[in-house]
Amino acid sequence: MTNLATILLFADEPSNTPTLGDSPFFWLPRAGSTTVQHVDPLFNYLMWTSAISLVLLMALMGFFVAKYRAKSRHEKPQGSTDHHTGLELIWSIVPLPVMLAMFAWGFQGFVALRTTPKDAYEIHVTGQKWKWLFDYPNGYTDDVLHVPVGQKVRVIMTSVDVVHSFGLPGFRTKEDVVPGRYTELWFEPTVAGEFPVFCDQYCGTGHSAMITKAIAHSQADFDKWLVDAGNKMDSMPPEQLGEKMYNQQGCAACHSLDGTPKTGPSWKGLFDKMETMSDGTVVKADENYIKQSMMEPQSQIVKGFPPAMPTFKGKLSDKKIAGIIAFIKAQK
Amino acid sequence: MASTTTTADVAPPGAHGADDNYLTHEKGIASWLLTLDHKRIGIMYFCCVISAFALGGFFALMIRTELWAPGRTIVDADTYNQLFTLHGAVMVFLVIVPGIPAALGNFVLPLHLGAKDVAFPKLNLMSWYMWITGALFLISSLIVSAADTGWTFYTPYSTTTPTAVIPALAGVFVLGFSSIFTGLNFIVTIHKMRAPGLTWFRLPLFVWGLYSTAIMQVLATPVLGITLLMLIVERAFGIGIFDPALGGDPVLFQHFFWFYSHPAVYIMVVPAFGVISEIIPVFSRKRLFGYSFIALSSVAIAILSFLVWGHHMFVSGQSVLAGSIFSAITFLIAIPTAIKVLNWISTMYKGSIHLDTPMLYALMFLWVFTIGGLTGLFLSTMSTDVHLHDTYFVVAHFHYVMMGGAITAFFGGLHYWWPKMWGRMYNETTGRWGALAVFIGLNLTFFPQFIMGSRGMPRRYYNYIPEFQPFHQASTIGAFILGMGFLVTTVSLIRSLLKKPDAPQNPWGANTLEWTIPSPPAYYNFDKIPHVVEGPYEYADWEYDDKIGGYVRKGHQEAT
């Protein structure tokens, strides 16, 4: 799995983010979920109402300017109307039903977007700087969102650090991802294909790299993918599993493999090195040190680096931890 | 708003020389820095606000240049994040909030009221020094390591980022006091210092605008102050209020922040309504259509603006019920705002329209503000907001309202009162070219952002997917045209100070009190307290005099 965050943030290479594409309506991107019906028709209604209002108002303004433009400073105005009760009543009352319709329609759509159907398939989402992780019911974790077409999907989200926002423009839905609580949204993919997933709430350096994709498969393909992906992970050699974790868990955002210090120390030549901590103690970077750095990152901060690492306690199995240690060992 | 013939229309008594005005009354830098004269304080505010505007504009051009292409163009991601934070903080807190009230309002308000000064001249000077102090804090953070939180300071990002957030917060905190002092001063001034005969419904609408704004400044800004103080306490001492890692609630911060910042949007735009309500009748030579509606709707908007903050939080996890109430009240505000636009347009009906630069800015305001207002409907409608929230659609919307509404009105007002401020006419040709460039630049910069936003482009993105590049490039080109427009305008205005012609007393034929005294006004404003006998928009008695290039009241020979 390519790490999009790394590519976008540090290399400026073209990403493999899918395009947003076009919908039949110029203003909106390609659609891929049943939730689209709660947004697009209403957007259309708003756009036409606004366009017509704008044209009428500006035509009136332009007409008055052209017709009543003074030829000289001495010219007097032709009229002196400064109120007209009938007119004022009309333009106070006419917008009311138009706006009431907007409100009611928007409310109805919002309730639909926020009311998750009962029989939905559940995927847990974790937002962290600057990465999305998706946990599937079988325990498999991925950094790309895979979803089955024709199945209602409930997404339960939380953040490990700051506020993010999980935005799916193709599905017309979005919700903030807040640390310390769960938020949720739902959708039902209608066509197979790939759609971009953005972080919409500003979250720092890699905010614009916090992009991944949602891949909608047919139900059969999805089921097969999930079983295969889970099995592949179980039978992976530790070092390869470690490399996968390095990209998937967001290690790559702060730890380089080529010796360049980033937010955290580089992993190149790290294993068995004597590291000086911020309190002056010198510690050998062995298995125990690495495990402790992942579980209780604030307990040992290497001198010269900010205490920025989140904890991975409870998030990684022993097998994955061993895999990461093996991968670090391999970075000679 | 004319006065009776026995008072203000008499020639100045011999005690004043012809050259004695507020600009020449005292000399030396100390006579400015320690002045208690509202006109000089207004001018000092104006110079500071324009400088801050140039700084904020520079940041904006850096941002737009970076966004010319995906990936790195001129700066790295962290610098970009600092740039948009500074752009937002400078433009909101140093430019738009104080722009019209503190710069134009300070100069004009006492003149509008027929008063000698504001109610508390020392407090007025104090508020200017608060502005300076706040600005220094904000800009000092730039030197240390500029904050990268966005002007919204959302937690827990703002409590955990290593950049200098505290100086920036302290700056905004102090600027808040500057705003509160001005508001307090204006409320008392408007209540207590109106000239005899100047009843509430004979007040110019600019005064109504400033009054509504002052109420919001006094009631809303303390909430911002306390919120920022809590943020400082959390950051400095680790006391958990907003950060969930310390047991706090990050969404609580958003509620507090928007409780100020939504009224703040109206703090920024209601004075602009006031300016437009002055300009349109004068240049249409006709009474304003629906005076009392515009006056009272400003106050209504001021009150309702406290009840809509939650419409910034439809996707924050806020309950559906709360969201629906906020959405409904937001629509309630939209109606009087729409009616105001109709009132301004109707004022022109059967008028005698003069397209001088201030009027061009007013027409521009109607165009951009209507677009800004209509696109607000997309965002107050809950389901479409889910799709548009935190995208460029929001960016475009508030730039149409803030930049297009507040800033164009500020520049319109600036041209309108320029002859009164300095006693010099600006150059009409360069003024109009500047306005045209601003109009083209503004639309080219921000209109493509609506399309990007509705197609999904998230805001505050350093990098973007290649599909958006043509829109970003159009926007960048627009930004440079916009910058050029402001440069032309500023140069044109400054040049007018260096050369003739001198401005007549009343170049526009307006009927508010500031135009019944010489340009620039005397140190004490009015020789005699004017006695007001009519409304502010009665133009029938003013006749144009070709010899002096300005208007004189029928039957009076006025020296200029």
Option in B289, B374, B381 nearest A106 (CB):
B381
Q: How many of the other CB atoms lie within 10 Å of CB of B335?
A: 18
Question: Which residues in chain A have their CB less than 8 angstroms from residue B72's CB?
Answer: 12
In one-letter notation, the amino acid at residue B184 is L
Question: Which residues in chain A have their CB less than 8 angstroms from residue B150's CB?
Answer: 202
Whether residue B301 has pLDDT greater than 90: no
pLDDT tens sequence across B521-549:
999 999 989 999 999 999 998 999 999 88
Taking alpha carbons only, the member of A209, A172, A168 closest to residue A5 is A209
pLDDT tens sequence across B218-270:
999 999 999 999 999 999 998 989 998 888 999 999 999 999 999 999 999 99
Question: Which residues in chain B have their CB less than 8 angstroms from residue A50's CB?
Answer: 374-375, 377-378
Whether residue B99 has pLDDT greater than 50: yes
- Measure the CA dihedral B112/B115/B120/B121, to 10°: 90
pLDDT tens sequence across B413-463:
999 999 999 999 999 999 999 999 999 999 999 999 999 999 999 999 999
In this complex, is the C-beta atom of B156 within 8 Å of any C-beta atom belonging to chain A?
yes
Local structure of A265: helix, strand or coil: coil
Token output for B455? 């197609």
**Mutate: best of B241, B364, B368, B383, partner A, most A CBs <10 A:** B383
A252 DSSP 8-state letter: G
**What is the number of CB-based contacts under 8 A between chain A and chain B?**
288
B residues 82-101 closer than 8 Å to A (CB): none
Q: How far apart are CA B291 and CA B202, in angstroms?
A: 10
Option in B72, B315, B327 nearest A106 (CB):
B327
Q: What is the mean pLDDT of chain A?
A: 88
pLDDT tens sequence across A27-50:
999 999 999 999 999 999 999 999
More confident residue, B362 or B7: B362
Model confidence, pTM: 0.89
pLDDT tens sequence across B158-213:
998 888 899 999 999 999 999 999 999 999 999 999 999 999 999 999 999 999 99
CA distance B330 to chain A (A): 10
Mean pLDDT of A7-23: 62
Using CA coordinates, name the residue in chain B closest to A107.
B382
Q: What is the pLDDT of residue A183?
A: 94
Mean pLDDT of A101-114: 94
CA distance A173 to chain B (A): 6
Match 């953070």 to its residue by tokens: B141
Question: Under 8 Å CB-to-CB from B37, ≥6 apart: which residues?
Answer: B22, B117, B121, B523
Taking alpha carbons only, the member of B290, B355, B537, B358 closest to residue A62 is B355
In one-letter notation, the amino acid at residue A304 is G
Q: How far apart are CA A303 and CA A269, in angstroms?
A: 17
